[in-house]
Amino acid sequence: MSTENKVFIYDTTLRDGAQAEGVTFSPVAKIHVAKMLDSFGVDYIEGGFAASNPKDMAFFKDIKKENLKHAKIAAFGSTRRANVKVEEDKGTLALLEADTEVCTIFGKTWLLHVTEVLKTTPEENLAMIEDTCRFLKENGKEVIYDAEHFFDGYKDSPEYALQSLEAAAKGGADCLVLCDTNGGTLPHEAFEISALIKEKFDVEVGIHTHNDSETAVANAMEAVRAGASQVQGVINGFGERCGNCNLVSIVANINLKTDKTCLADPEQLKNLKAVSQFVNEQANLRDNQRSAFVGESAFAHKAGMHVDGVRKVSHSFEHVAPAAVGNDRRILISELSGASNVMEKLMEMGLDNIDRKSPEVREILQTLEKMEKGGYVYESADASFKILMKKVLKEHKSFFELEGYRVIVEKRGKNEPCISEATLKLNVRGETAFTVGDGDGPVDALNMALRRALKKFYPSISDVQLADYRVSILDPEEATAAKTRVVIESSDGDTSWGTVGVSENIIEASWEALVDGVEYKLFLNEENADS
């Protein structure tokens, strides 16, 4: 397995990741994820626990129908049971039934687990490890041995922990993986112990860390520094309890910050964000906005001094180039913004002929401060801020004028569903558009009415979908009279944008955000037509 300066990535998203609370992969999703990971260039894909459930065994059968380009599929299992012949052990035979090129087995390293969990003798446990590794090797498998609870076991009894690895090596294991199963190890310990194991054994050494102490990635990087040539983990870091080592961060750190590589094709690193989002989608999880490297906030700059620095020298406030991992720089607008933030937004809009010391920039900042005092926030409502700037610069164009709307919510009986209906009247290009919309709620009904009114004049409105709708109460002490802020995220399939509205009336706040969202789409259409 050894290749100079190569760290092998062993992905256990489909097995260890699937043990996370709230995560379940459908059979189809497992195949989709495996194919994505293969194209991304990971070396091993752990498909599941061979003796655990029919769904995992079905995956091993189905994945054979796919033409994977690079990755090896691994079946996961354990050492044979105590006092059972390895050739008669059901779990071990299930590994052979999975018919994968690689078998990964875990065994006990910590005496506490040997005597109190397995209820067997230290000698029998060592025999279980050696027998299982040898049996799998004799059946033509590449064998990866996961030394469960290795760091805890080593701290408790170094001698026995080493004996467990020796048993695996004697049985023919191709790689000895040191597992921080409880996630309690600190980085300096991970380095020192990994370096010692690397020195004592000729077999390749790997690392498998959990994040209970928020050190999983750091521990894995320290193990790599100590000579580990395999890192096991999960895309996006979810998993049992607090999660597993996040392979997103591992892949980026190794490729960008060491002299090693860890992908079949390093050029694939630019797809890192797309891989992260794809796995979250298949696991039915929301993307973590603050994820390192791939989160929406990873390269988002808010403070005026930071924005000024990034504009002058990008790496003054960015540890890697956003594009290197498939991400983008974002400039946020808030009460902390300065002229640099505004200038960046003006440049995005093609208005780069305005000097940062001009009265217009000063007026935009003053308007921003006034609006935020009124409850508006623009960090997640970039489109609303661009419209605001156009209004201040007297360059705003109204695509339609509101003449009035009415929203009705009706419940016709105790067991009947609520019915929401919106009636809307607009002036569009000198014509009156009068429409009615119904929906799951009053805002949905209003949105449907607005679309129907506009699609005759602006057909592209049909492409716009509401991706998210969030409500915040700004002054809860006012109870039902409190001011409400509504943030809406819209998308046309290619681009997403956020808008904001504020009012004591939630419908009016929603209308304001809806209008900004529609107008921004129409602005985009005009810009694309001009270009």
> What does the pLDDT look like over 177-231, one tens digit per residue?
999 999 999 999 999 999 999 999 999 999 999 999 999 999 999 999 999 999 9
What pLDDT does residue 143 have?
Answer: 98
DSSP one-letter string for 420-479: EEEEEEEEETTEEEEEEEEESSHHHHHHHHHHHHHTTT-GGGGG-EEEEEEEEES-GGGG
Task: Find out whether 361 and 354 touch, Cβ atoms under 8 Å.
Answer: yes
Residues composing the chain:
531
Q: Is the pLDDT of residue 338 over 80?
A: no
Q: Is the pLDDT of residue 345 over 90?
A: no
- Write out the H or E segment, with its range, that includes residue 493: none
Domain boundaries, the chain: 8-282, 300-373, 401-530
Q: Which two tokens stand for residue 361?
A: 């920039």
Distance CA 309, CA 315 (A): 9
Task: Find out whether 167 and 126 touch, Cβ atoms under 8 Å.
Answer: yes
What is the band of 452 on the pLDDT scale with cuts at 50, 70, 90?
very high
Max CA separation in the chain (angstroms): 90
Q: Give me the residues paired with residue 426 across strands.
A: 402, 433
The set of residues, in sequence order, having a beta carbon less than 8 Å from that of 129 and lying 6+ positions away, is: 79, 107, 145, 164, 167, 168, 171
What pLDDT does residue 53 have?
Answer: 81
Q: Which two tokens stand for residue 203?
A: 């077999």
> What does the pLDDT look like over 171-185, one tens digit per residue?
999 999 999 999 999
355-364, long-range: CB within 8 Å, 24+ apart, which pairs?
360/392, 360/393, 363/392, 364/388, 364/389, 364/392, 364/393
CA end-to-end span of the chain, whole Å? 52
Task: Find out whether 325 and 306 touch, Cβ atoms under 8 Å.
Answer: no
Q: Let me know if domain 8-282 sits in CATH 3.20.20.70.
A: yes
What is the band of 343 on the pLDDT scale with cuts at 50, 70, 90?
confident
What pLDDT does residue 62 have?
Answer: 96
Task: Find out whether 409 and 418 touch, Cβ atoms under 8 Å.
Answer: yes
Give 491's DSSP letter: E
Decide which of 487 and 355 is more confident.
487
Q: Is the pLDDT of residue 363 over 80?
A: yes
The set of residues, in sequence order, having a beta carbon less than 8 Å from that of 359 and lying 6+ positions away, is: none
Q: Helix, strand, or coil here: 107?
A: strand
Q: Is the pLDDT of residue 342 over 80?
A: no
% the chain with pLDDT above 90 = 74
Q: Is the pLDDT of residue 233 over 90?
A: yes
The overall average pLDDT reported for the chain is: 92
Query: If you average pLDDT over residues 340-367, what whole number do you get?
Result: 74
Q: Could you please state the CATH topology (level 3) that the domain comprising 401-530 is classified under.
A: Double Stranded RNA Binding Domain (3.30.160)
